[in-house]
Structure 1
Amino acid sequence: MKITRVETFAVPPRWLFCRVETDDGLVGWGEPVIEGRAETVRTAVHELAEQFLIGAEALRIEDHWQLMTKGSFYRGGPVLSSAVAGLDQALWDLAGKAYGAPAHQLLGGPVRERVRAYCWVGGDEPAQVSEQITAQREAGFTAVKMNAAGRTGRLPDGAELRALTARAEAAREALGPAGDFAVDFHGRFSVAGALKAVRALEPYGPLFVEEPVLPEYTHLLGRVASATGTPVATGERLYSRTEVLPALQAGVAVLQPDLSHAGGLSECRRIAALAETWDVVVAPHCPLGPLALAACLQLAFCTPNFLIQEQSIGIHYHGGAELLDYVVDREVFRFHEGHLLRPTGPGLGVEVDERAVRAADGRARPWHNPVWRQPDGSFAEW
């Protein structure tokens, strides 16, 4: 079974899909994308496909991964790792279809029958947290995530800390003692600022605090992790086992690899195994589309140290399309009391509506994250 064609589709709201076809008619799908750099990743996908995949045996997944990640002198980084990730997802999708089994079955079989998921509330500039959490609770969810703050200084002042704790108090009140909320810092604070904010949140018992420092300061992450009993999470901007290792050494409690950024199902499976040796749980990052989420679920169902799954249905970044618009059977992504059930279909377990994808290709308007500035005109982290 040889690979004969690789296609890509840029679709609303901000996603990139890839389609890998073989000479016997099987097709695998993946989602290689960096938010805001879809066209750059698209070029990388086709470069890798022409160099390493076209004409090759489709089921040599690990060999393809090795060549795509190491076959060029200059390697790594978010663009190349994301291109590899989507192609790797598509190869696992192909393998599952060839063997008539879900990818998680090929990776050792299921260790659970459902996975807990959480929703986003609050947006970039958190507001109406209580109302949004109440709506999610009524929909059956028991966990949410919100941003710690909007545009803020690296060292939050008293007013910013009071606003943060007011939102945390509102979240705890809306969720009750049994619900969970996570707080995403987005690297917007300095280490000292993160320490102030994390300590202020402690009375409200967040599930975890995410990315309290920027990934380039992972060597300082231990200062935050060792100063609080609140679990510290990071990983969405780390793209390999070697990049997550310093975070594990720093004492993080939750690792968040992104299956569309960190080398796909192959590498994230290894990242999860590495995390297990540090007694760390994984909560895959996934504010993306249906194929990214489907790949996350395949990992979740065969990973003992899995915690909870991010998903993007209804997230504030989307406009013009939704995750379910590109799948045939929406039942795969139907929630049951805040959980997703184990997919039994072959490969990634989701059937792509190819007609809808082809019709949508090219209709996505370029998406870029906001660029924020401080009141004095200097750059502010988004």
Structure 2
Amino acid sequence: MDAHDLRHHGDAEVRDDGAALTDLAVNVRANTPPDWLRDRIAASLSGLAAYPDGRAARAAVAARHGLPTERVLLTAGAAEAFVLLARALRVRRPVVVHPQFTEPEAALRDAGHSVDRVLLREPDGFRLDPALVPDDADLVVIGNPTNPTSVLHPAATLARLARPGRTLVVDEAFMDAVPGERESLAGRTDLPGLVVLRSLTKTWGLAGLRIGYVLASPDTIADLERAQPLWPVSTPALAAAEACMEPCALAEADRAAHRIAADRAHLVAGLRRFTPHGLRLTEPPEAPFVLIRLPHAPQIRTRLRTLGYAARRGDTFPGLDTNWLRLAVRDRATTDGFLNALDKALSAG
């Protein structure tokens, strides 16, 4: 039996006991969705009597990535895409590169697949060596930037995993939080078997609305679409997708990515003060969260909760143990409050 709880997610850290906690466990950007996006979603409610029509949103996503519409599939969040891939693709040897978001492996196992793992190591900075992936793997899943390690793999490194007869799934749920979306493979059509997943729930604060999309070859998109139920994406979610593809929204997302980078640097600088306590930070972080290793992390996490802060436990991710914590990047005032709480939690021990 796998010791890792693949279905544990950060929201459980906030809901566990009903306490009013400052949330550093969930990777959704704070103070979202913005008012203009709320207004667009609200305006769509007048059309709820009609069945959802995803054509405009699908065309908007395609145009944003310079692709034809037959290379785009809208989904109820990126998580639905993992289920569709697990059910629709006929694969013999799926491989998931860990540590990473656990839902892809959970979906594959639920669909009856036996899943192999490639475990990246802390001494290597959790960075990928393509030679670690078995040659006969016909499905490879990897995140970029990766949850929870915050590692951004070079696009050229990931491209080396693509080959005829293999489906390469790159989860780019957090790529729009990377300034310039450097190292993204979205929009690439030259790599055989490439499937890129995107989520709109993180940057725009739409986790409750469920909206994401898949970019892949027309044949793969058709296979996944056949596995979807009818009208899988709601009218409000379609309105949000179309709005988030507009140039002004993309510019806002890029500005947010730069703010996140600055706020992350502030958090990293503060965390480095605790290296005498044995804290180790996975560097350089490139996502809107950081991964730390801390002796006695479960006790520290409990003390942080009593001080009003929720951190994401790391032991549910294959390749990590109980001494790992993931921390979402927040504004500087929130980070300073957390760092003070961490100082108290460590001093109490």
TM-score (norm 2): 0.37
TM-score (norm 1): 0.35
